Structure 1
Amino acid sequence: MNRGKIILYPLMVFLLSSNALSQSDNFPDIILFNGKIFTSSEENLYTEAIAIKGEKIIAVGKNDEIKKLLSNDTKIIDLEGRTVIPGINDAHIHCPYLLIPVWFNMKSDNPSITDILDSLKRGTREYPAGTWLSTDFPTSLIDDENFNRYTLDKIAPEHPVWLRNFTGHAILLNSAAINALDVDKKYKNINDKSVGRFPDGNLNGKFFEYSNWNLNQQLSADTPDSVIIKAVNNFSYGVLKYGITSVQTMPVIFDEFHVANLIAENDLPIRWRVMRVSPKMLNEDEINSTKGFRKNKVALSGLKYIIDGTPIERFGALSNPYSDKPDWYGFINFNENKLKRIFDISKNTGEQLLFHCIGDSSLKLVLRTMKNFADAEFWQDKRVRIEHGDGLSDNLIELAKELGVIILPNPSHFTFPEIFMQRFGKERYNKYYLQKSLLDAGLNLAFGSDGPINPYLNIMFAVTHPTHPKEAITVEQAVILYTKQTAYAEFMENEKGQLKEGMLADLAVLSQDIFIIPFDTLPKTESVFTMVGGQVVYDTGVLKVQQ
């Protein structure tokens, strides 16, 4: 376990080496006082001090009130006016993801075919034949007929090449990769939009949606546990500096039960919820065999299905064609009958459903099929999650509210206004990527990154909203969506997400006051002191302990 990244400063050493519990059950172990503590609880948004015993908060309030609770064994930390928030709970990540041996970071965010080929050419010189080579390719090349398997073959005939669009919904393979995965044979008789072909019917090397993820899963099947452990270990310790204390991950390509077990066995510092996102249709026996897994801050729960793609690569399913591709409506990966089968599985297993829906057509399909399957009362306590929900507008808002659906927008997705205008045209553009309007309508929202992990960068996007400035929300609202609401989205609102009595002591002391600083400085924010369950897991040495 790579604990070397976490520096043990005197305060952390002192707290960890002292008795875990005070001698009296009535006194706190630790008191943090003299702070600007944002609780995420609408009953009392701001307070000054917090008392912790074991893994729970036992009191919050004014400095004088909380200090009356201390005993001779209580450790006291003067926050010196610093801002404290509940630990960030990122509700939408993908870790671990595909772990290819050689990955090239492109110098440009929009590399040309020549740029990509030059990188691959260097790779073929530096690594022996048979080594997998990979990098991202821009969306602009998805429709380029000159960008295909044979283009890559000219540069890397003996190295399998796996190129991925940054959205994760499209890949391009060369012939060596296609042969290594026996793709020609497996996809010979599959004739749908998820498999790219030349006019003569042969594979052009492009794979989309579930064909893409099936290949991801196949390639990842032999990944050593040590590689997976290293990835989740580095991730867990890396996010502590942001005050992230919980994550909800959708591995997509790895066996989720196996991943959950590996994380639990390594006893990592943050809380993990692992959600099933198997490319195949899950059946009840598969779900029940792993249901209820919970160990060492790790839980396995939920069933996610990807209904469409994204508008970036024009795979989001639209009711009317794309403005910049008039004969194209995007992808729908599941029809109404398959959705009803999924609803039956959830009903019989009690597992929460999560649907990746971006286009208005995919949202209509899911919400209206839910309505036809059962009445609103049935759905209200199921907390069905719509991941992204970018095209939710008009009468779909009321339907989503009626069904008790939780919407999980991703603020980094608000940062492509030029592309969205091209894809949708002005009229539809104004109805996509709503945020404030959804909150004002009374919908439950929660945040997940699904991109840059820095929560303060994502908060900046939420409070400025580059696509629709009128849809911007306040910093307070954004923090609540990242803490209290993300806990609600995983049925954990009675245990974490707020700094109040009885809750888990998951918190972050911040390097600056995010509630008053200029928005453009938000991404510079870090945690100087992070706690998970009353234990110090990250400490920069800024705070001093008193006794």
Structure 2
Amino acid sequence: MDKLPEVFLFVLLLFISGSHQLFAATSPYADTVIINARIITADNDDPGLVTIAEAVAIQRDKILAVGSDEEIRALIADWTEVIDARGNSVIPGLIDTHSHIYETASGFPWVLNTIPDFLIIEVTAESPDHARDLVTAAIIARASQIQENKWIRIRVNPPPVGMETFGQTLVRDDLDRINSEHPVFVFTRGGSVFNTRAINEIERYYGNEMPESYWVVDKATGWSREYSDFDRCTTLDPIANQDQETFNNYIKGYFEVLQANAQIGVTTYKSHIQCEGGFSATNHMDRNDLMPIRMGWDHRWLQPFSDSITESYRRIGDWVGHGSDWFFSIGSSVGGIDGGGSAWCTSMEAKSDEIKGREQCPPEPEGIDIEAVTDLNVATTRGRRTDHLVTLTELAAEGRMTNISGWHASGDGAVDIMFDTYRRYLSDDHINRLRIQSDHCELVRPDQIELAVRLGATFSCFASSTPTRLIKRDYSDEYMTWNAPVASMLAAGVKTIISEFGIQHRLRQSPFEDGVMWLTRIMDGEAWGVPEEAIPDRMTMMLMMTRWAAYPIWKENALGSIEPGKLADLAILNGDYFSVPIEDLDSLTSIFTMIGGKVSYEAPALRGNTLRFNTDTIDWTFDMQTPTATWRWTKTPVLPPFLQG
């Protein structure tokens, strides 16, 4: 008899446990289904084996099932919302693996109207003397328009003229004489020069004297061959953070540009966060559940203006996977090992020493010999990037870091520095586990493609006519095959990806504007690179923008394809991806973007509904003609103030 209470209790516990499991069980029915579609699932790495389905079922934030209309209709319950795709293509949410939206958002007109301090004045000069005169006039004019202490920032074009001007015709004392009441920063792709007020403001904000490694000559000259640290970080840190109202307006503008990306089907972007303000703003949106699209980020903001790179990154730990589904870390990044355009690091033989002198190769890591690095093109100011690269590689070798995320390497010399540094400290098998990625692929040699296959490396390539123009003008046509050789990469087995197709520097109507250029290798009516290096077909290009792009951001099990169990990120296009002529592919865009099972954007072409942010009038439209419960935004999203949110 004494055992009966124990037996009763045991049975009761079993009943309670079973009841809990029963009530917690997943419903077999869908919350939302999309039918009558051509669904490009991107469910296979082989373009020829990708499934094209008719319908998809979504439950909560994930894909429940993919199949025929008949199969998916069996998952419809009374509460299920049924969306007719009208025969249009449905694609996985697009992943842009190299973008600086957190920084470039500051340049959009409606953001500049709110924060005029973000303005960068553009001047185009024919000679150093001409550049000095234009800069002088621009400083005087801008100073008359703004309050004391506000920043004046000027970009000199073209870069070769700017590089010839800085440190010779224009130095710190010259800028002080023109204006000492405002922080003044003059830059080009390849270098920059500052007045005393600007240097003092940077040092005040970051709390330390700027390292000597930034200066070509010395601090008194105020001339550096670094430019992106200053350009990006002055925007996001001392300017955006000058007061709470300005920072709140910056976050709002950044939010709106992210929403504009959702409206063309971009659902995730990846970037190296160079400046602390970019992290703070993104994290603020994430903690308030207001991220319009997802962001994979790598840690870099302890590098700019710091003299303690090695110590800092040896203390920071392994951040891979840290964060939420909307804002997640993929490790740490060096940023740019070389510059862009004429400031790349390359082994190409130039037509003159002057051209070679514009290049920006960092000093070689100790014990590593890089053919591209010479006395003519070494930029000692970029030694900071080398220190960062070596530190991250040492940490990976010590088992303290899971990943070294992708970063800027424009020239083949920069790719050599990356690969050779990894191989000095790590076995090829270990490198394979790091998911290394090189961004831009402006110059990649055939031997580097072969090595990339062995190392499991990938390239994130962007469409640009600049390398073609520079190769023709300053080097030799024989190097043209090195420019974004994506067909050769794909043929060798490199899962190459393309990037910068989203809204970053300018508004776009379609995510496939660059796609036309990739499939034809024609840009503005002229060839770029060589035609043999075009992406071979549309399905391959779709994988490059989705499935393959998920791997280097450590999200291949959650993003990049329309498969059961993955997050429900997808877009319905306004036509058939496979039937429009290649030249008209840029007429296709999203008319319905879903992220995590919720609709972030809808155009009236689908079912008469409109949910969108209007970039021309800077307002939102909510027009529900067909009832829906799937919208993420049902009224204009309002971000709380940064310090109270």
TM-score by length of 2: 0.71
AA at the equivalent of 1:213: D
331, 336, 339: which one pairs with 2:360?
331
What is the 5 A alignment of 1:199-214?
Answer: 205-209=222-226, 213=229
1:452 deviation in Å?
4.6
AA at the equivalent of 2:424: N
The corresponding residue for 1:59 is 65
The corresponding residue for 1:493 is 556
- 1:161 counterpart = 2:161: no
Identity among equivalent pairs (%): 21
The corresponding residue for 2:377 is none
- Gaps in structure 1 of 5+ consecutive residues: 1-20
Q: Structure 2 CA distance, aligned partners of 1:519 and 1:270?
A: 28
585, 600, 617: which one pairs with 1:537?
600
Q: Structure 1 CA distance, aligned partners of 2:272 and 2:203?
A: 26
After superposition, give the CA deviation of every residue in 1:250-277 in whole Å (9 maximum; x if it has no partner): 2212267645532322321311112112
The corresponding residue for 2:472 is 421
1:88 deviation in Å?
0.9
- 1:370 counterpart = 2:436: no
1:404 deviation in Å?
0.8
Residues 331 and 402 in structure 2, CA contact (< 8 A), matched pair in contact too: no
1:446 deviation in Å?
1.9
266, 272, 278: which one pairs with 2:295?
272
1:519 deviation in Å?
4.2
Residues 176 and 196 in structure 2, CA contact (< 8 A), matched pair in contact too: yes
SS of the residue corresponding to residue 162 of structure 1 reads strand
- 1:102 counterpart = 2:122: no
459, 478, 496: which one pairs with 2:515?
459
Q: 1:148 to 1:457 in 2, by over 3 A?
A: farther
The corresponding residue for 2:316 is 287
1:416 deviation in Å?
4.8
Q: Structure 2 CA distance, aligned partners of 1:152 and 1:467?
A: 40
The aligned length equals 515
Range 460-469 or range 108-117, more displaced: 108-117
Bigger relative contact order (CA 8 A; separation at least 6): 1
526, 532, 540: which one pairs with 1:477?
540
1:203 deviation in Å?
5.1
Residues 308 and 330 in structure 1, CA contact (< 8 A), matched pair in contact too: no
Residues 302 and 353 in structure 1, CA contact (< 8 A), matched pair in contact too: yes
Calculate the aligned-residue CA RMSD, in Å.
3.5
AA at the equivalent of 2:101: C
The corresponding residue for 1:439 is 490
The corresponding residue for 2:499 is 448
- 1:322 counterpart = 2:350: yes
After superposition, give the CA deviation of every residue in 1:484-520 in whole Å (9 maximum; x if it has no partner): 1111111211111111222211011123434333445
After superposition, give the CA deviation of every residue in 1:238-257 in whole Å (9 maximum; x if it has no partner): 21111111111222122676
AA at the equivalent of 2:317: N
Q: Structure 2 CA distance, aligned partners of 1:404 and 1:70?
A: 43
AA at the equivalent of 2:533: E
Residues 468 and 483 in structure 2, CA contact (< 8 A), matched pair in contact too: no
AA at the equivalent of 1:468: V
Residues 383 and 405 in structure 1, CA contact (< 8 A), matched pair in contact too: yes
SS of the residue corresponding to residue 284 of structure 2 reads helix
Q: Structure 1 CA distance, aligned partners of 2:581 and 2:175?
A: 46
1:480 deviation in Å?
1.3
Q: 1:475 to 1:206 in 2, by over 3 A?
A: farther
Q: Structure 2 CA distance, aligned partners of 1:351 and 1:386?
A: 13
Residues 415 and 461 in structure 1, CA contact (< 8 A), matched pair in contact too: no
Q: Structure 1 CA distance, aligned partners of 2:284 and 2:26?
A: 37
The corresponding residue for 1:142 is 162
263, 266, 280: which one pairs with 1:241?
263
SS of the residue corresponding to residue 448 of structure 2 reads helix
Larger Rg, first or second structure (1 or 2): 2
Range 296-305 or range 320-329, more displaced: 320-329
Range 390-399 or range 347-356, more displaced: 347-356
Q: Structure 2 CA distance, aligned partners of 1:256 and 1:50?
A: 36
1:534 deviation in Å?
0.9
Q: 1:327 to 1:351 in 2, by over 3 A?
A: closer
After superposition, give the CA deviation of every residue in 1:293-312 in whole Å (9 maximum; x if it has no partner): 31362112321114532352
- Gaps in structure 2 of 5+ consecutive residues: 1-22, 107-114, 242-246, 367-386, 522-527, 608-625, 629-645
Q: Structure 1 CA distance, aligned partners of 2:43 and 2:119?
A: 44
After superposition, give the CA deviation of every residue in 1:273-329 in whole Å (9 maximum; x if it has no partner): 1211232535455422866531362112321114532352x3211235533535537
Residues 39 and 54 in structure 2, CA contact (< 8 A), matched pair in contact too: yes
Residues 393 and 421 in structure 2, CA contact (< 8 A), matched pair in contact too: no
Residues 304 and 355 in structure 1, CA contact (< 8 A), matched pair in contact too: yes
AA at the equivalent of 1:491: W
The corresponding residue for 2:13 is none
